[in-house]
Amino acid sequence: MSGATRNPVAVVTGAGSGIGLAAAERLITAGWKVAAFDRDEKALAANYRERAEAGRVFAASLDVTDEKAVEKAVQQARKVFDGLDGVVNSAGIAADIPALETPVDLFRKILDINVTGTFIVSQAAARIMKEDGGGAIVNMASVSGLRGSKGRSAYGASKGGVVILTQVLANDLARYGIRVNAVAPGPVNTPMVKAMHVDKDRALWARHLPMRRYAEPDEVASVIEFLLDGSRSSYMTGEIVAVDGGFSGAGIIADD
Ligand code: NAD
């Protein structure tokens, strides 16, 4: 946080649902002002109208792949709240589909939103943070960006891209006082996963998770808040923090 005399300010993309919504809620509770962006206008209206009226939130529809719109939106957020200290890049899409059946258009679309969108928002925000003396960015990787999970050729490639993008941005932006980290969640109970995982998928995941359960969105949001807060994670940058119930650290898991 660099705002000493005002509330810290964060841009949250994908703020209309799931992890982005939980992150925005956490940050608001912790005293942040939040620019909540999502391409789903209805979700923004349903979740933020009251908080916008109270002056805690500025909500606007935005497609993170539209670089001109992103630049405008990020500048507007800084103007409305008189600063910009943090970014949460949670906008994303997923597909679980065998590699040989994955249409190239779908592959391109997933990379465009998940990787290029993260880059566009980070670049626009970092240009402002550089002028203002620093800040923090948290990207959304995934265990599917660290391991070759089945059916994840596009999604896994996009999240692998987010991992290395996070490390490069951390390297390039450290000189401006900007820290860049990512969380790599395992399965989280969000609308995205509820739409994708049938009982068979849940049972399969449970077999590979030492904690035997999916995360709740707030269990990821609490780590995001920690990584944004320069008073608690000041010496962390370029880090990919697994929030995965033990998945990526586990070897053989007992049956019982
Ligand atoms: P979700 O579908 O609940 O929320 C994603 C939000 O992003 C939606 O509100 C959607 O409208 C928005 N969005 C999609 N494309 C957009 C675009 N082009 N511009 C602006 N907004 C856009 O999903 P979630 O589960 O909360 O996922 C959030 C992030 O976390 C994603 O990047 C996802 O890949 C990642 N993640 C999720 C899980 C999980 O198990 N849920 C695990 C690992 C990583």
4: CA distance to ligand 1 center in Å? 31
Mean pLDDT of all residues in the chain?
A: 95
Is the per-residue pLDDT at 72 higher than 60? yes
Terminal CA-to-CA distance of the chain, rounded, Å? 45
Ligand 1 atom nearest the C-alpha of 189 is: 41
CB 47 within 8 A of CB 28: no
Interatomic CA distance for residues 168 and 229, integer angstroms: 20
**What is the residue with the minimal CA distance to atom 6 of ligand 1?**
14
Tell me the Ramachandran region of residue 58: left when phi exceeds 0, alpha when psi lies from -120 to 50, beta otherwise.
beta
Give the full edge-to-edge strand order of the sheet including 86-89: 57-61, 33-38, 9-13, 86-89, 135-140, 178-185, 240-243
Q: What is the mean pLDDT of residues 46-75?
A: 94
Is the per-residue pLDDT at 1 higher than 60? no
- Predicted local distance difference test score (pLDDT) of residue 219: 98
Q: What is the mean pLDDT of residues 63-69?
A: 98
Question: CA nearest 224: which of 59, 55, 14, 63?
Answer: 14
Q: Read off the pLDDT of residues 113-172 as tens digits, 9 standing for 90 and up.
A: 999 999 999 999 999 999 999 999 999 999 999 999 999 999 999 999 999 999 999 999
Catalytic residues: 155
Three-state DSSP at 2 gives coil
Q: Read off the pLDDT of residues 165-188 as tens digits, 9 standing for 90 and up.
A: 999 999 999 999 999 999 999 999
- Predicted local distance difference test score (pLDDT) of residue 50: 87
Is the per-residue pLDDT at 231 higher than 90? yes
Rounded to two decimals, the pTM is: 0.97
Ligand 1 atom nearest the C-alpha of 64 is: 19
Is the per-residue pLDDT at 25 higher than 70? yes
Residue 87 near ligand 1, beta carbon < 6 Å: no
Give residue for tokens 């592959």.
107
- Predicted local distance difference test score (pLDDT) of residue 105: 98
Is the per-residue pLDDT at 232 higher than 50? yes
Residue 117 near ligand 1, beta carbon < 6 Å: yes
Is the per-residue pLDDT at 7 higher than 90? yes
Q: What is the mean pLDDT of residues 63-74?
A: 98
Secondary structure, 3-state, 133-202: CCEEEEEECCHHHCCCCCCEHHHHHHHHHHHHHHHHHHHHHHHHCEEEEEEEECCECCHHHHHHCCHHHH
Half-sphere exposure of 7 (CA within 13 A, CB side): 16
- Predicted local distance difference test score (pLDDT) of residue 3: 45
Domains annotated for the chain, with CATH where assigned, are 9-239 (3.40.50.720)
